[in-house]
Structure 1
Amino acid sequence: MSIFLYACESWTLSADTERRIRAMEMRCYRRLLGITYKDHITNEEVSRRIENAIGPHVDLLTIVRQRKLKWYGHTTRSPGLAKTIMQGTVNGGRRRGKQKKRWEDNIKEWTGLELRNILRKAEDREEWKSVVGRSSAAPRRIPNLRDR
């Protein structure tokens, strides 16, 4: 677990990355329970068995989001190179076409706030803790058409 989460604060999470994190977590659960894919047991059933075995737990995607949001608040409150790099801008614009997701886009998306409001809230530690708690919960997988 700690190997997986190493430096996760610096990741930019796209939809594909989130899907891969969920898949890796499910593979780990299946391995712990000794369940193979040949057993034809659904992911929901595997999750239920893990809940029964270890009790309530936080999924990996939520942990990654919490760590990233906490690190953002920490660096925003501290004077230093990390804050300068994180909030700094480079002359010029972005390339043409569909834009790649940026690190700060995750923060904006999860909190639902504009950058200036995020910076203001991150300056107050207690207020930022409440934002992290509200924003870090990862939504469950959206069912595909074949699941219906």
Structure 2
Amino acid sequence: MGVNLATDLQRLRRNDRAMIRWICGAKPQDETPSETLHAKLGLVDIVSVLWSCRLRWYGHVERASGCINTITKMQLPGSRGRGRPRKSWMECVRKDIKVCGLTSVNPLDRAAWKRGVTTSRLLPTPVSGTPAAV
């Protein structure tokens, strides 16, 4: 059974909205927008939380001096099998960096990277995964 990222994100957002409506005591019949409830609780969209966690971990990995950094940069010998390869963690990180506008921030500069990830988390999250207008 294959993993569909769009379906998983949709299920995650649906669950997040249901829990926020439950916390606020809002009924679906009230037709209160989820953004209003998020603002009422001072929360951001769940997808931006996932992006920021992955980007924070990427910064940690880039600054690490141990084996974790060596392993992520390791080239494996041999050829790949047929078909499209699975999406790697690094491909997800590259996409997140591009979407969050962190291409000019150096992850080795801890303070700048942390500031960039925090400010990108506060930006509105695009629905389709495309970059937000800044």
TMscore range, shorter length: 0.5 to 0.7
Question: Is 1:121–2:106 an aligned residue pair?
Answer: yes
Distance apart, 1:45 and its partner CA: 2.0
Which has the bigger relative contact order, CA under 8 A and spacing at least 6? 1
**Mean CA deviation greater in 100-109 or 127-136:** 127-136
In percent, how many aligned pairs have the same letter? 23
Residue 66 of structure 1 corresponds to: 52
Q: How many residues align?
A: 120
**CA–CA separation in structure 2 for the residues paired with 1:22 and 1:125:** 30
Contact 1:111 1:131 in 2 (8 A): no
Task: Measure how far apart 1:132 and its partner are.
Answer: 2.3
Does structure 1 residue 16 correspond to structure 2 residue 27?
no
Q: Structure 1 residue 69: deviation in Å?
A: 0.6
Q: Which amino acid aligns with 2:72?
A: M
Preserved CA contact (<8 Å) 1:121 1:127: yes
Report the residue type matching 1:21 in the other structure: L
| Matching residue of 1:75 | 61
**Aligned partners of 1:102, 1:134: CA distance in 2, in Å?**
25
Q: Which moved more, 1:17-26 or 1:63-72?
A: 17-26
Q: Does 1:51 align with 2:15?
A: no
TM-score by length of 1: 0.62
Match of 2:18 in 1: 27
Aligned CA RMSD, in angstroms, stands at 3.1
Counterpart selection for 2:77 from 59, 78, 91: 91
TM-score by length of 2: 0.67
Gaps of 5+ in 1: 1-12, 143-148
Q: Which amino acid aligns with 2:71?
A: I
